[in-house]
Amino acid sequence: MIFHLALAADWEHAEKAGEYRVSTLGRTLDEEGFIHASADLAQAEGVARRFYLDVTEPLLLLAIDESLLNCPLKFEVAEGTTEAFPHIYGPIPVAAVTDATPFTPRP
């Protein structure tokens, strides 16, 4: 299981379209080349503290079953860190998301 922070509106759009195509806050898969994800809940919390504290729109934590992805998944070290993050090199099928839980970043 891997995780992705999503705006609730982006997830709603994905449910209608059948796939999720947002890479990260304000950037699409087409713009970024992959979708950012987190390897575990602790990593997702760290991402939320670094990038999502000022977000006022409702957020969701998507739980993704990586065995249901139809594209490459690579663990890569993000620039400026020593942590490896999962990067999804294609759209996420809605069926690969096993849970979409409301999420509020904690400072």
Give residue-wise pLDDT tens across range 23-66: 999 999 999 999 999 999 999 999 999 999 999 999 999 999 99
Whether pLDDT at 78 is above 90: no
Domain of residue 26, CATH code:
3.20.170.20
pTM, 2 dp: 0.95
Neighbour order of strands in the sheet with 35-36: 35-36, 84-88, 73-77
CA gap 82, 1 in Å, rounded: 21
Q: State the residue range of the domain holding 19.
A: 2-103
Look at the chain and report how many structural domains it folds into: 1
d(CA 73, CA 90): 9
> Letter for the amino acid at 78?
A
Q: Is the pLDDT of residue 79 over 90?
A: no
In this prediction, residue 81 has a pLDDT band, given cuts at 50, 70 and 90, of confident
Q: Which residues contact 41 (CB under 8 A, 6 or more apart)?
A: 3
**Selected residue with higher pLDDT from 98 and 106:** 98
pLDDT band at residue 89 using 50, 70 and 90 as cut-offs = very high
> Would you call 26 helix, strand, or coil by DSSP?
coil
